[in-house]
Structure 1
Amino acid sequence: MPPRLRSRGLPASTVERASKRVKKEVAVKKETELTDGQLIKSENDGSTEVSTKSTVVVKTASEIEDGTLVTSVKSESSEILDKKSFVPPTLNYDPFKIIDISKIKSVSDKEPKNWRDIYSHVQKMRANTMAPVDTMGCERLPEAISSTITPAVHRYQLLIALMLSAQTKDEVNAQAMATLRRELSPVGGLTIDGILATQESEIDRMIFKVGFHSRKAKYIKLSTQILRDQYDNDIPKTIEDMVSLPGVGPKMAHLLMHRAWGVAEGIGVDVHVHRLANMWGWTGKNSKLLPTPERTREALESWLPKELWVDINPLLVGFGQTICIPRGRKCDLCTLAPTGLCKNVDRSKFKKVKRPIPDIEDLI
């Protein structure tokens, strides 16, 4: 029975609505048995404890206000992991978290003088602007680890997402990943077995919207076979082994190390990071635009503190997707424009205020 509410002088209609809210609150708690080969991962410290039960608490609250039904659901569950798969911590980026750059120690006397101020400005702009990379970036596309999706499968899907991402917008990449999961479900889903059981031409058809889809379909088949033959149905654990896979370059390898293995051995430099770093002069005082992202990566790693090697990619990618876009930069929305920190401000973006010519009589 729901608790009775006292009116305390409130109108009868108000008490009635409050009573309905109490009646609508539902709490469901159930325990599901796990097999002996499964573990439950602690969310507090990342440790793993052996358990035979998984407690799932689901709380649902509904309100009826002015004839409109509003429902909110909160679900808390333990993460079920495969006992045979090691799950290291991943290095994730939070676009809404602002780091105090002034407290980060310098690692080189060759660091650009403007980098801390620019980085701080970009952080604040990113915290107020949701970018495609925040919801459809490669690390968001693999299926969540569960009783049916092992950590190894999750890592494999992350590899596929990265291979598809080259020269492709996040929105298109997300569609291609969804198509692969859907159409491969009869043969085991987006897994090593599922890809190997599918003809290259069929994979090409599923991903035809991404850039260089035919070449990527070939690389996916070749790389998947290598993972089966040489890496025990998992992805490699070193940069050297990753870049040996067909279709995997340094940028993909470093991002894969960040998200899959929780290791920051380098910076993932894509077209946005490459363009912005050179535009701001972060790759050398007197150097012109460096010809390759790999050269930019080397320049950044020579002075950027290592604790920022993971965040700088999604930070600048999102900034390049929303404000400092390649064509038609939105300098009128950028807080760097009036500071003089950026030397490439497009002044044509600022509207000139036309002052009316005063009447001669007004001057007398």
Structure 2
Amino acid sequence: MSMGLRGKRTLSSKIEINKDEISVQDTKKKRKHLTIKADPDKNSNCSVWEPSNWQQVIDYVRTMRQDLPAPVDDMGCDQAADRNEAPEVIRFHILISLMLSSQTRDEVNYAAMQRLKQHGLTVDKILETSDENLGKLIYPVGFWKRKVEYIKRTTRILKDNYNSDIPNSVKDLCQLPGVGPKMAHLCMSCAWNEVTGIGVDTHVHRISNRLGWVKKTTKTPEDTRKELEAWLPRDLWQEVNHMLVGFGQTICRPIGPHCVTCLCKNICPSFQQNSSPIKKK
């Protein structure tokens, strides 16, 4: 009887061990089944789109910009501020210069900024200035009457909400009257030395479409900004605005672009197309 019991116990133990082994094996099978491995083929299909020859285009544009100075180099928004003033006043100068720059040539904008600085370009001084006098100071910048209103309202907000300084975020800058995404990103870069996005104006918008730097033709500068930020390396975001604006002022002009003398002509989609105005001519 004792032998029989010992045999049964042994058999029972084996059965229990086998159950444990089966349980462990099942667990291993489940874990193996849930393992997710990267598929290199699928990842390659998800690569970010980028235009062809864009690095070469940038090298060419840099070369042309070095040899041919543009108004933006000496009279751009970042050049209009008085660097001898207090930091918050310098930032205010940059913001006002950006607000005046819309639909205005750099030369006209720069001259208006000189008159404003001579008058006294501080938050308190602008609030003391009548709308009529402010209009005389900034005329003939584009839409000067509307900009008088924007500047006065914005200055009041800076006085009441930001201790006479400017906001330090794109979101808050865009809440100011007359300030859009382009101005906000440029202001963050020039005033706060923080790169938050690409400042896309009419020059950058036009040239990006001519060069094929967007997957499909964009209708607004904001659409162009999103397209560029999707593929252009972030370390180029700060440079690209200044570089393309100067390029647009000197060579890739809105009317009568100097395509024949442009180093990019052999790799520029716009020049290669029959619709190119210079090629027709």
Q: Confirm or deny: 8 A CA contact 1:179 1:206 kept in the other structure.
A: yes
Letter in 2 for 1:138: C
- C-alpha separation between the residues in 1 aligned to 2:221 and 2:180? 11
Give the match's secondary structure for 2:171.
helix
Q: 1:207 to 1:329 in 2, by over 3 A?
A: same
**1:158 lines up with 2:86 in the alignment:** no
Q: What stretches of structure 1 of length at least 5 have no aligned partner?
A: 1-106, 352-364
Ranked by relative contact order (alpha carbons within 8 Å, sequence separation 6 or more), the top structure is 2
Q: Confirm or deny: 8 A CA contact 1:163 1:248 kept in the other structure.
A: yes
Q: Confirm or deny: 8 A CA contact 1:108 1:302 kept in the other structure.
A: no
1:301 aligned partner: 229
- C-alpha separation between the residues in 2 aligned to 1:133 and 1:152? 23
1:115 CA displacement: 1.1
Q: Confirm or deny: 8 A CA contact 2:49 2:231 kept in the other structure.
A: yes
More helix by share: 2
Q: Confirm or deny: 8 A CA contact 2:208 2:214 kept in the other structure.
A: yes
Q: Confirm or deny: 8 A CA contact 1:330 1:349 kept in the other structure.
A: no
1:244 aligned partner: 175
More strand by share: 1
- C-alpha separation between the residues in 2 aligned to 1:211 and 1:325? 19
Q: 1:348 to 1:247 in 2, by over 3 A?
A: closer
Residue number among 106, 112, 116 corresponding to 2:51 in the alignment: 112
- C-alpha separation between the residues in 2 aligned to 1:108 and 1:135? 39
2:22 aligned partner: none
- C-alpha separation between the residues in 1 aligned to 2:108 and 2:158? 26
2:117 aligned partner: 181
**1:172 lines up with 2:111 in the alignment:** no
- C-alpha separation between the residues in 2 aligned to 1:283 and 1:151? 37
The 5 Å alignment of 1:1-364 reads: 109-145=48-84, 149-182=85-118, 184=119, 189-284=120-215, 287-288=216-217, 290-337=218-265, 339=266, 341-345=267-271, 346=276, 348=278
Q: Confirm or deny: 8 A CA contact 1:269 1:293 kept in the other structure.
A: yes
Letter in 1 for 2:268: C
Letter in 1 for 2:230: S
- C-alpha separation between the residues in 1 aligned to 2:278 and 2:64? 21
Give the match's secondary structure for 1:125.
helix
User: Structure 1-normalised TM-score?
Assistant: 0.62
- C-alpha separation between the residues in 1 aligned to 2:155 and 2:256? 39
Q: Confirm or deny: 8 A CA contact 1:204 1:213 kept in the other structure.
A: yes
1:114 CA displacement: 2.2
1:119 CA displacement: 1.1
Letter in 2 for 1:132: P
- The size of the alignment, in residue pairs, is 232
Larger Rg: 2
1:331 CA displacement: 1.3
User: Structure 2-normalised TM-score?
Assistant: 0.80
Cα offsets for 1:304-357 (capped at 9, x unmatched): 1000000000000000000111011111221112x2x11222474699xxxxxx
Q: Confirm or deny: 8 A CA contact 1:239 1:250 kept in the other structure.
A: yes
1:108 CA displacement: 5.4
Give the match's secondary structure for 2:107.
helix
Give the match's secondary structure for 2:196.
coil
1:224 CA displacement: 0.2
Q: Confirm or deny: 8 A CA contact 1:332 1:350 kept in the other structure.
A: no
Q: 1:333 to 1:350 in 2, by over 3 A?
A: farther
Q: Confirm or deny: 8 A CA contact 2:182 2:200 kept in the other structure.
A: yes
Give the match's secondary structure for 2:185.
helix
* Cα root mean square deviation, aligned: 1.6
1:355 aligned partner: none
